[in-house]
């Protein structure tokens, strides 16, 4: 992703900013599941780049939260891959460092999108009883923050139970005029106002089984719309 207009590390905000004119990579430069080949426009963030960035986020989290017991709250379904890879990296760092983080992983299942649009309503579809988080150091792990409504709503539900600390890690943050200004404590990439799929991010439950983060095309939107 080198060259003019490509990804730029953003030291101030500590995340990688993908500019509006980033075209992504041609599909035939990567291996993709055959069943999605006609449904995608481009590979937007290759799996290897996601993994490298996740390793760095794990290091930042380790530096900030080392020597604590934390409860990782994975937001399903979209957050499951990022959460698994982040936890694995924190575990590895913890094993090889003087600082040690002990972790417990809990899950909450939320839904707020239909097709590629926010429904403006966050449905809590189950998972842990959030009262379990009382007095704990909580690290919420989410796939993407767009308007910020989902996260703000989850945070207000958790805050009722007085956790000791809450931090939020999101793999992606979308630049959208609909944002309410919410910014997570840890973020992997800031992306333009596009609908992305892959690496567990779905379009009506499709594309979770795609390793790279990709942009869906009109054929894909039409084929899988509900
Ligand atoms: N597969 C995708 N899911 C997305 C995308 N943008 C948002 N979302 C889903 O919504 C919530 C967060 O939305 P918010 O507007 O309340 O901040 C997130 O958890 C996703 O499930 C997207 O581009 N692709
Ligand atoms: Mg999500």
Tell how far the Cα of 144 is from the centroid of ligand 1, in angstroms: 5
Indicate whether residue 157 lines ligand 1 (CB < 6 A): no
Atom of ligand 1 nearest to the CA of 147: 15
- pLDDT the model gives residue 70: 96
Tokens of 3: 């060259």
Of 120, 143, 182, 204, the one to substitute when testing ligand 1's pocket (max ligand atoms within 8 A of C-beta) is 143
- The per-type count for the chain, helices as H runs and strands as E runs, is 4, 11
Note down pLDDT in tens along the chain; length 226 residues.
Answer: 433 333 344 444 589 999 999 999 999 999 999 999 899 999 999 999 999 999 999 999 999 998 889 999 999 999 999 999 999 999 999 888 888 889 999 999 887 767 777 666 666 767 678 899 999 999 999 999 999 999 998 999 899 999 999 999 999 999 999 999 999 999 999 999 999 999 999 999 999 999 999 999 999 999 999 9
Indicate whether residue 118 lines ligand 1 (CB < 6 A): yes
The CA R_g of the chain, rounded to the nearest whole Å, is: 17
Indicate whether residue 112 lines ligand 1 (CB < 6 A): yes
Atom of ligand 1 nearest to the CA of 207: 1
Contacts of 95 (CB under 8 A, 6+ apart): none
Atom of ligand 1 nearest to the CA of 153: 16
CA distances from 111 to 4, 28, 83 (A): 37, 32, 17
pTM for this entry: 0.91
- pLDDT the model gives residue 7: 38
Indicate whether residue 202 lines ligand 1 (CB < 6 A): yes
Of 24, 76, 78, the one to substitute when testing ligand 1's pocket (max ligand atoms within 8 A of C-beta) is 78
Q: Is residue 83 within 8 Å of 168, Cβ to Cβ?
A: no
Q: Is residue 60 within 8 Å of 94, Cβ to Cβ?
A: no
Of 144, 176, 178, 194, the one to substitute when testing ligand 1's pocket (max ligand atoms within 8 A of C-beta) is 144
**Ligand having the closest approach to the CA of 79:** 2
- pLDDT the model gives residue 115: 73
Closest C-alpha residue for ligand 1 atom 7: 146
CA distances from 161 to 156, 164, 165, 182 (A): 9, 9, 11, 21
Q: Which residues pair with 167 in a beta bridge?
A: 139
ipTM comes to 0.98
- The full length of the chain comes to 226
- pLDDT the model gives residue 123: 65
Contacts of 23 (CB under 8 A, 6+ apart): 42
Tell how far the Cα of 98 is from the centroid of ligand 1, in angstroms: 37
- pLDDT the model gives residue 214: 98
- pLDDT the model gives residue 10: 41
Tell how far the Cα of 146 is from the centroid of ligand 1, in angstroms: 6
Atom of ligand 1 nearest to the CA of 148: 17
């Amino acid at each position: 992703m080198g060259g003019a207009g490509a990804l730029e590390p953003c030291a101030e905000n500590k995340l990688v900013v993908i500019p509006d004119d980033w075209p992504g990579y041609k599909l035939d430069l990567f291996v993709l599941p055959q069943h999605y080949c006609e449904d995608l426009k481009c590979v937007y963030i290759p799996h290897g780049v996601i993994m490298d960035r996740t390793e760095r986020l794990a290091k930042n989290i380790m530096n900030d939260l080392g020597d604590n017991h934390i409860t990782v709250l994975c937001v399903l379904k979209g957050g499951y891959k990022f959460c698994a890879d982040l936890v694995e990296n924190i575990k590895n760092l913890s094993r090889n460092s003087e600082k040690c983080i002990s972790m417990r992983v809990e899950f909450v299942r939320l839904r707020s999108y239909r097709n590629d649009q926010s429904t403006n309503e966050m449905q809590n579809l189950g998972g842990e009883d959030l009262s379990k988080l009382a007095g704990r150091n909580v690290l919420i792990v989410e796939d993407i923050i767009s308007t910020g409504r989902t996260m703000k709503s989850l945070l207000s539900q958790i805050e009722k139970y007085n956790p000791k600390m809450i931090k939020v890690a999101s793999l992606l943050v979308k630049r959208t005029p609909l944002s309410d200004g919410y910014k997570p404590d840890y973020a992997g990439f800031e992306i333009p106002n596009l609908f992305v799929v892959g690496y567990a991010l779905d379009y009506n439950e499709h594309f979770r089984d795609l390793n790279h983060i990709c942009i869906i095309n009109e054929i894909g939107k039409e084929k899988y719309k509900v």
